[in-house]
Structure 1
Amino acid sequence: MRTKKQKIFLYLKLLLLVLFLGVVALFAFRNSILENVISKVETKLDHDYQCDFSIEKAEFIGLSNLEFQKITLVPKDADTLVSIENLKTSVNFWQLFVGNIQLGKLEVNEGFIQLVKNKKGKNFDAFLKNNDEKKSDDKPSYARLAYRILSQTLNLVPTDMSVKGFEFRMDDMGNKVVFDFKQLALENKKLASLINVKSDDFSQDWSITGFADPRDRKADLKFFNTKNDTILIPYLDKKFNLKTSFKSIHFNLENLDMSSGELHIEGFASIDDFTVNHAKIAKKDVLIKKARFDYHFLLGERFIAIDSTSRAQINDIKCTPFISYTNDDDKIYALKLEIPKMKAQDFITSLPDGLFSHFKGMEAQGNFSYNLNFEYKKSKPNNIIFDSKLKPEGLKITRYGQADLNKLNSEFVYQAIENGVPQRPIVVGPANPYFTPLAEISPYLQKCVLTSEDPSFFNHRGFINEAFKQSIAKNIRTKKFARGASTISMQLVKNVFLTREKTLSRKLEEILLVYVLENNRISSKERMLEVYFNVIEWGPNVYGIGEAAGYYFQKRPIDLSLNECLFLATIIPKPKGFMSRFDAQHQLKSYAKQQNDFLTRLMLRRNIITPTDTIGLFPVALIGPATNLLKPKVEVMIDSTATDDFDF
């Protein structure tokens, strides 16, 4: 009779024997198993992705080392996607035993991966299609999903690696780029590489060096040009007309940790001498000398965020960002940004070169801090939170840059620029016979323009938070830039000091210049409005209200009627297309009349005008040179009993 202790030892022996026999069987049949796995992969790639996958030779060397020769993956009727002459690797046996693939060593000699897009299509298109599997109604946890993908990806990164003569190729309708890995070695957690990058018009040698530990989820890598020169990014220039370059990039991954259902990813990234050039950004190269982002990404069950412990820096401008997206019972987008107190002059000198050209040479005294709080809920789009606060401390502009805002207070020459072409110069002042002081402009026109363009002009300091809220809400709902929020102050700055180009640079400069103009009380509101009326475009090659009143009605600005002022106010957004508002009889079309009626009712409700002002209004009739741009008038019989009623 065996004792309990003897039984335990017997069971352990039997278990060890079974494990031993399993290992022996696995070792004995390992190549057969490998062939079976390869066959299944071939069948799956053929059935699911219409690709021919082949390996000329595959065998185990020992228990965990594998060698493959002549691996190819060719989509049907398309260019080869993958070709590898020789590949050797090892897998962690015990991790493989529990179903987790971890690569140990990897050696790749000669081969390529190529992505091709031509008239026949893409050779990688089959791998981008959604599979037909039934979608689960359960919402996956963002944190668990991201952690699983990152973990599986890092497990496939070998602990030791040697790659020679391997290329990554791109061919997008003839726009070709080749990344030739002359050397890529990872040994004892140290990475060294030499990559030759070639396109049609240039060739450079890049290098990535540093520390990499895929098992401990840590890395510290530097990316630079081996000749200590600027790295140029190919492909983007021909594909998107986007020219980019940089001196070096430093990337650090310090922590990738899953705990309590939340995924934390922490580290930093920095870049030196980053240059970008695109027509939608600025007219010239934009240069950021130094930028750094100490990141802390936080993912939970139903949210993704850049945590407020993150820090961002551009030159000497430091800020604390918080960005989050929540998709639970409601979709919520949130953004908080804080710039702690800093010297105003440090801020000006830290602005990226080329992005704020009109601030070059500006000098300032004092300090400021800034806070932004934004939140948008999809279920309540009109309850948007937009709170922007700049706190100045002794802030004063002591010297202006290229945009001398003081010129608004005296006579100056204004010259509009359209599509890069300077228009005829216009004197804004008494030397111009068409210049009209504010007191000589019809009060009706002032009221109409202020009501339609900027009702709170005399009360705000350049910006209207409520207008920004409505603009952001509509742009998010329509998923495009469908509405702006320009005040008269912003339009004035754009016309007098900037250009009409639709670039990020112009918009940012416009915002900063308006703040300086309004909050330093450089010019009175009355003078700003006077200049606005005398410089804005009212029609093709028609600038200022003095020219416009004669061009349309052969009148002086002071003599314009309410209906004429309504017409002039409503064409400001598209002055060159005023003729489209008239029909074949040179009468305002119904939609134009409706706009005038709406504006009239709005001014009546706000007590800006009285019902008496609307008595005896006649339809708008152009009698000036503007009539030459209308289509030839078609004469029709008019019923003499008809009346033109105005429903106010």
Structure 2
Amino acid sequence: MQIPKIKIPKKYLKIGAWFLGVFFVVCIALGAIAYSKREALLKKMVAKAIAKADKDYDLEVKIGSADFTGLSTVKMTHISVVPKERDTLSNINELSVSVKLFPLIFGNVKLSEVKLKEGYVSIVLKDSTTNIDFILKRKKKDSTQTDQKANLSEIASNILNQVLYKIPDDMDVKNMVFKLNDHDTAKLSFATNAIIDGGDLKSTIDVNNNEATWHINGYVNPGSKKLNFLAYADGKKLELPYLNSKLHAKLSFDTLQTELKNAKYSGDDYKISGSWSVKNMLINQPRIASNDIIVQSAKLDADILVGPNYIALDSTSTAYLKNAQIHPFVKYTLGKNKIYELKLNAEEQDAQGVLEAFPQGLFESLEGLKVQGKVKYNLNFYLDTKVPDSVRFNSTLTPVNFKIVQWGKTNLQKINNTFVYTPYEYGKPMRDITIGPSNPNFTPLSAISKNFINAVLTAEDPSFFTHNGFVEESIRKSIAVNFKEKKFKRGGSTISMQLVKNVYLSRQKTLARKAEEILIVWLIEHNHLISKQRMLEVYFNIMELGQNIYGIGEASRYYFGKQPADLTIGEGLFLASIVPKPKASMYKFMADGSLKPYMFNYFRFMGNIMARKGLTPGDTSGYGFYNVRLREGLRRYLAPDTAVVDTTAFDDDGDGLPVVIVNDKNKSFFDRLFGGNPKKDTTTNKQMTTPADTTKSKKQLRQERREERRRQKELEKTLQQ
């Protein structure tokens, strides 16, 4: 099909030509006028910027000279920035900046070229002030200017665009030094030379005057929102001694790479796609582990979604540790109440590959362990801060044809036979205890009173014989309680976890030890390496039940002068009550050897639960409370009834369930467990109420602890006789 010809009269063509010609001439004339006036305009703009810096930020900015050296290039010399009453922030000898003209027409300032010679930026921390306080001051002012709700996706887009706009197509930086002075106790300096040529970035960074030489090389294309940086050091690992001195941490790696692949809107969400990877990263921090942790290879391919009121790491992301991989989902929602969400999904994969993917040094006792089969993992966590009791928590590690084919550093079945247990106090070994028939205090499970067994299981781990090492409901409640209290008040440990912690692991409180504890419990429970009966038997024979009192055999003779098989329901409930704070056990007794009145509520509440389960007959008089009597030979070591002791001064591991009784308050274990207030006992005599605690000095408490240790040593001698 032919397109018909359109005839335009010549007069219209002439009018159009004249119009374009006049427009072109006007543009040239305006450009010439602007060009001739640009120096004056530049000086006016510089003066305005200096005045604004002084008014809004309390910054004294000085510029020696500012001139155009080309159509869109400004050269400035002797630039200094000094916050009022603070140390100099920056000083630059010479700076040339070129901007792109076309984006400038639409109000966007995009840099095309930057050249910098000789300068520094110095951050100084003194007392509680820094020379960058002005940034916070400005933010505070801005926050009061509007009551409109911030749209996070728009903020993310604007910030990223501003950052990318400031990355020039070409750059030449010579001897630009970035310095940090932290209270004159730690100093850092980075003397930087960097070039961007056609998008290729190459840099050399001298750290602390030849202490190390770093490089950050890569490719930048801010127009298409693509960046790729690789950081490494010459002849050594890239590390910062500053972290070791200030944070008591060591962090180093061979290479660190980051990539921005794309950033664009996806509906109302702003989506940022990128990746981060590291090779041979070494971490050493006492809270994490007592030794070096080495991550040989790790990578995260991430899709970050920023919505109107939330930030999320999308489930399309993948995290890699060597050959193992997992899909994380993390979401933080803002609003009247904050919402935290976390999901992890690891598809079925080789179990040995997963084991070898764990960082070196993380699981010391499992080094050398060989397994067969496959595993998969799922975790789901949801917390609405407005209703923390509705927290959701599910965690499942599923084995598929899984079995252990070779033990590692530790034989996880060692407790099936006689072994030696060494308890620790304050990091020091107390004594070696043989867990077996050769030890006269060792008590087989069949020789332990059901009263004691049922009391401990009810208080510590009611579902011990049915769970697989973990109780999700207990963990869920612990999360809710700890969040509401804003501190770690309640743990979620089962007897299986306490046993593994004491027998197989060090007593150091680190994240690595906790992770190793969880994995060992899973291996033992899911592979049925140790029977439930044997686990309980060992637990009862190693549990701490007083100052240097370990196991039910020692405890029953120590407190009551009888065999474990002969313990009454009251004596069993008392021993169960001291498990969380065993060193405070003697302070639960009156001078005549009877229990202090505040213990009655605990006995009644626990006894009622046991009775409902058919574990003991109902007893309205308090389930043996009034019949519990401390062995007569120990009563002379008891403190006077009027003495008040802060039992929180007695250290324990803090990883187990919450304390049953922490001081002389009329609260039971389940009061603390569920936060409820059961109906008061109207039959209790008013005279049974103990006086309120009075505050004691630290010196007094130390003296009382020393006196208690002296008494305990004498008691041990008496017990041995």
Query: Do Structure 1 and Structure 2 share a fold, with TM-score over 0.5?
Result: yes
Asked if 2 retains the 8 angstrom alpha-carbon contact of 1:551 and 1:624, the reply is: no
Q: Does 1:151 align with 2:161?
A: yes
1:480/1:10 Cα in 2 relative to 1: closer, same or farther (>3 Å)? farther
Matches within 5 A, 1:98-247: 98-119=106-127, 121-129=129-137, 130-133=139-142, 134=144, 136-198=146-208, 203-227=211-235, 229-247=236-254
Asked if 2 retains the 8 angstrom alpha-carbon contact of 1:246 and 1:275, the reply is: yes
Match of 1:285 among 292, 300, 307: 292
Asked if 2 retains the 8 angstrom alpha-carbon contact of 1:113 and 1:167, the reply is: yes
Q: Does 1:82 align with 2:90?
A: yes
Asked if 1 retains the 8 angstrom alpha-carbon contact of 2:188 and 2:242, the reply is: no
CA drift of 1:328 comes to 5.6
- Distance in structure 2 (CA, Å) of the matches to 1:249 and 1:70: 35
1:185/1:236 Cα in 2 relative to 1: closer, same or farther (>3 Å)? same
Code of the residue aligned with 1:187 in structure 2: it is: D
CA drift of 1:541 comes to 1.5
- Let me know the Cα RMSD of the aligned residues: 2.7
Q: Does 1:47 align with 2:38?
A: no
1:408/1:54 Cα in 2 relative to 1: closer, same or farther (>3 Å)? same
The runs of 5 or more residues in structure 1 that have no matched partner are 636-640
Select the structure that is richer in strand.
1
For residues 577-634 of structure 1, what are the alpha-carbon distances to aligned partners after superposition, in whole Å with 9 as ceiling and x for unaligned? 3345457887655554433333233333444322248466416443377657643455
CA drift of 1:515 comes to 0.7
Matches within 5 A, 1:426-575: 426-575=433-582
Give 1:417's aligned residue.
424
CA drift of 1:42 comes to 2.3
1:536/1:85 Cα in 2 relative to 1: closer, same or farther (>3 Å)? same
Give 1:299's aligned residue.
306
- Distance in structure 2 (CA, Å) of the matches to 1:515 and 1:448: 26
- Distance in structure 2 (CA, Å) of the matches to 1:350 and 1:292: 12
Code of the residue aligned with 2:141 in structure 1: it is: D
Asked if 2 retains the 8 angstrom alpha-carbon contact of 1:585 and 1:633, the reply is: no
1:399/1:334 Cα in 2 relative to 1: closer, same or farther (>3 Å)? same
1:432/1:54 Cα in 2 relative to 1: closer, same or farther (>3 Å)? same
1:643/1:235 Cα in 2 relative to 1: closer, same or farther (>3 Å)? closer
For residues 405-432 of structure 1, what are the alpha-carbon distances to aligned partners after superposition, in whole Å with 9 as ceiling and x for unaligned? 2112111000123443222111111111
- Distance in structure 2 (CA, Å) of the matches to 1:627 and 1:204: 67
- Distance in structure 1 (CA, Å) of the matches to 2:171 and 2:458: 69
For residues 383-408 of structure 1, what are the alpha-carbon distances to aligned partners after superposition, in whole Å with 9 as ceiling and x for unaligned? 33322222222111122222322112
- Distance in structure 2 (CA, Å) of the matches to 1:116 and 1:338: 45
CA drift of 1:36 comes to 2.3
Asked if 1 retains the 8 angstrom alpha-carbon contact of 2:570 and 2:623, the reply is: no
1:548/1:378 Cα in 2 relative to 1: closer, same or farther (>3 Å)? same
Asked if 2 retains the 8 angstrom alpha-carbon contact of 1:231 and 1:245, the reply is: yes
- Distance in structure 2 (CA, Å) of the matches to 1:349 and 1:120: 46
- Distance in structure 1 (CA, Å) of the matches to 2:384 and 2:205: 46
Query: Which shifted more, 485-494 or 393-402?
Result: 393-402
Code of the residue aligned with 1:122 in structure 2: it is: T
Q: Secondary structure at the match of 2:545?
A: strand
Query: Which shifted more, 90-99 or 347-356?
Result: 90-99
1:571/1:21 Cα in 2 relative to 1: closer, same or farther (>3 Å)? farther
Matched residue count:
637
Asked if 1 retains the 8 angstrom alpha-carbon contact of 2:79 and 2:92, the reply is: yes
1:56/1:524 Cα in 2 relative to 1: closer, same or farther (>3 Å)? same
Query: Which shifted more, 5-14 or 441-450?
Result: 5-14
The runs of 5 or more residues in structure 2 that have no matched partner are 1-9, 644-683, 690-721
- Distance in structure 1 (CA, Å) of the matches to 2:422 and 2:636: 25
CA drift of 1:239 comes to 1.2
Code of the residue aligned with 1:562 in structure 2: it is: I
For residues 173-227 of structure 1, what are the alpha-carbon distances to aligned partners after superposition, in whole Å with 9 as ceiling and x for unaligned? 234343433421111111111101128xx81101111211122211222211122
- Distance in structure 2 (CA, Å) of the matches to 1:626 and 1:62: 96
Give 2:66's aligned residue.
58
For residues 41-97 of structure 1, what are the alpha-carbon distances to aligned partners after superposition, in whole Å with 9 as ceiling and x for unaligned? 222322332221111111222231111111111122221111111111111223223
Asked if 2 retains the 8 angstrom alpha-carbon contact of 1:81 and 1:123, the reply is: yes
CA drift of 1:642 comes to 7.4
CA drift of 1:511 comes to 0.5
- Distance in structure 1 (CA, Å) of the matches to 2:515 and 2:337: 32
Asked if 2 retains the 8 angstrom alpha-carbon contact of 1:177 and 1:197, the reply is: no
CA drift of 1:455 comes to 0.6
1:565/1:25 Cα in 2 relative to 1: closer, same or farther (>3 Å)? farther
TM-score, normalisation: structure 1: 0.91
1:594/1:24 Cα in 2 relative to 1: closer, same or farther (>3 Å)? farther
Match of 2:276 among 264, 269, 283: 269
Query: Which shifted more, 249-258 or 531-540?
Result: 249-258
Q: Secondary structure at the match of 1:431?
A: coil
Q: Secondary structure at the match of 1:215?
A: helix
- Distance in structure 2 (CA, Å) of the matches to 1:383 and 1:342: 33
Asked if 2 retains the 8 angstrom alpha-carbon contact of 1:169 and 1:176, the reply is: no
Give 1:339's aligned residue.
346
TM-score, normalisation: structure 2: 0.83
- Distance in structure 2 (CA, Å) of the matches to 1:505 and 1:604: 41
- Distance in structure 1 (CA, Å) of the matches to 2:574 and 2:623: 17
CA drift of 1:299 comes to 1.9
Q: Does 1:318 align with 2:328?
A: no
- Distance in structure 1 (CA, Å) of the matches to 2:38 and 2:157: 31
Give 2:610's aligned residue.
603
- Distance in structure 2 (CA, Å) of the matches to 1:51 and 1:39: 13
CA drift of 1:37 comes to 2.3
- Identity rate of aligned residues, in percent? 38
1:460/1:123 Cα in 2 relative to 1: closer, same or farther (>3 Å)? same
1:370/1:118 Cα in 2 relative to 1: closer, same or farther (>3 Å)? same
Q: Secondary structure at the match of 2:437?
A: coil
1:643/1:62 Cα in 2 relative to 1: closer, same or farther (>3 Å)? closer
Asked if 2 retains the 8 angstrom alpha-carbon contact of 1:436 and 1:534, the reply is: yes
CA drift of 1:278 comes to 0.6
- Distance in structure 1 (CA, Å) of the matches to 2:596 and 2:351: 52
CA drift of 1:493 comes to 0.4
Query: Which shifted more, 409-418 or 256-265?
Result: 256-265
Code of the residue aligned with 1:158 in structure 2: it is: P
Q: Secondary structure at the match of 1:618?
A: helix
CA drift of 1:357 comes to 0.6
CA drift of 1:527 comes to 1.1
- Distance in structure 2 (CA, Å) of the matches to 1:241 and 1:329: 37
For residues 530-573 of structure 1, what are the alpha-carbon distances to aligned partners after superposition, in whole Å with 9 as ceiling and x for unaligned? 11011111122211111122332333222333333222212211
Q: Secondary structure at the match of 2:149?
A: coil
1:256/1:57 Cα in 2 relative to 1: closer, same or farther (>3 Å)? same
- Distance in structure 1 (CA, Å) of the matches to 2:607 and 2:33: 92
